[in-house]
Amino acid sequence: MHPLFVPALHICMASENNNYTLPIKQLPVGSHDFKYTLNREFFADLEQDEISDGIVNVVVNVAKSQRNITMNIAATGKVVVTCDRCLAPLTLDMEADDFFNVIFGEEYAEEGDNVVVVPEQDGEFDVSWLIYETILLSLPFNHTHEEGECNPEMEETLKRYTPNGEDEQESESDPRWDALKNMHK
Ligand SMILES: [Zn+2]
């Protein structure tokens, strides 16, 4: 086999399965759906720290008229984040639906009021980061397991590094500390 053949084949397969570049300018007037199934590889490729894994079905709809271009990103599935309390992996159900106005400009930008600027010269842009942001914004601000479902070893280790004063104050209202107190009775 010619050595150049292998990388060429690889590139071809990758673009077929994961083509997140939307040819906005080339699209004819009308409604266009781009469907994706995101997995661990998608989140790893973005080199971010928030989401480590997941299975998310995404439909990006681009609606183009003579006057304007709008884009809807709808995502539903499960993502894995880090629990704020015990630092163990936490799986969250997620559902997101976000709407954008697409305009052409000098260079790629995201502006207020959900406006996406696509470089007019290229006429296309990679939607993967925008999909990621849409998913991230749909998640609750605090990521924690349900009460009692945190990793007990991790919680115990973290507790050892918590100053005593804070423990006493929290014990009034936090059922986790009440449970620990009861164990020592
Ligand atoms: Zn936890």
Place of tokens 């809807």: 72
Q: 137 CA distance to ligand 1 centroid (A)?
A: 20
Residues 176, 154: Cα–Cα separation, whole Å: 14
Q: Among 120, 94, 89, 90, which residue's Cα sits nearest to residue 107?
A: 120
Task: Classify each residue of 146-173 as buried b or exposed e, where b means 16 or more C-beta atoms within 10 Å of its C-beta.
Answer: eeeebbeeebeeeeeeeeeeeeeeeeee
Residue 63: what pLDDT?
97
Residue 111: what pLDDT?
93
Residue 158: what pLDDT?
76
Residue 98: what pLDDT?
96
Q: 172 CA distance to ligand 1 centroid (A)?
A: 21
Q: 146 CA distance to ligand 1 centroid (A)?
A: 8
Residue 173: what pLDDT?
52
Q: Report which DSSP code applies to 55.
A: E
Q: 85 CA distance to ligand 1 centroid (A)?
A: 5
Domain ranges of the chain: 20-149, 151-185
Q: 72 CA distance to ligand 1 centroid (A)?
A: 33
Q: 128 CA distance to ligand 1 centroid (A)?
A: 29
Residue 151: what pLDDT?
87
Two structure tokens written together for 165: 């004063």
Residue 43: what pLDDT?
96
Main-chain phi, psi angles of 174, to 5 degrees: -95, 115
pTM of the predicted structure, to 2 decimals: 0.75
105 within 8 A of 49, measured Cβ to Cβ: no
Q: Among 58, 59, 71, 57, which residue's Cα sits nearest to residue 27?
A: 71
Residue 164: what pLDDT?
57
Q: What is the mean pLDDT of each run of 10 residues along the chain (185 residues)?
A: 41 53 95 96 94 96 96 98 93 97 94 93 94 95 91 80 55 55 53
54 within 8 A of 118, measured Cβ to Cβ: no
Q: 177 CA distance to ligand 1 centroid (A)?
A: 15
> What's the maximum distance between 2 C-alpha atoms anywhere in the chain?
74
Q: 80 CA distance to ligand 1 centroid (A)?
A: 12
Residue 16: what pLDDT?
38
Q: 141 CA distance to ligand 1 centroid (A)?
A: 15
Q: 77 CA distance to ligand 1 centroid (A)?
A: 20
Two structure tokens written together for 13: 């397969």
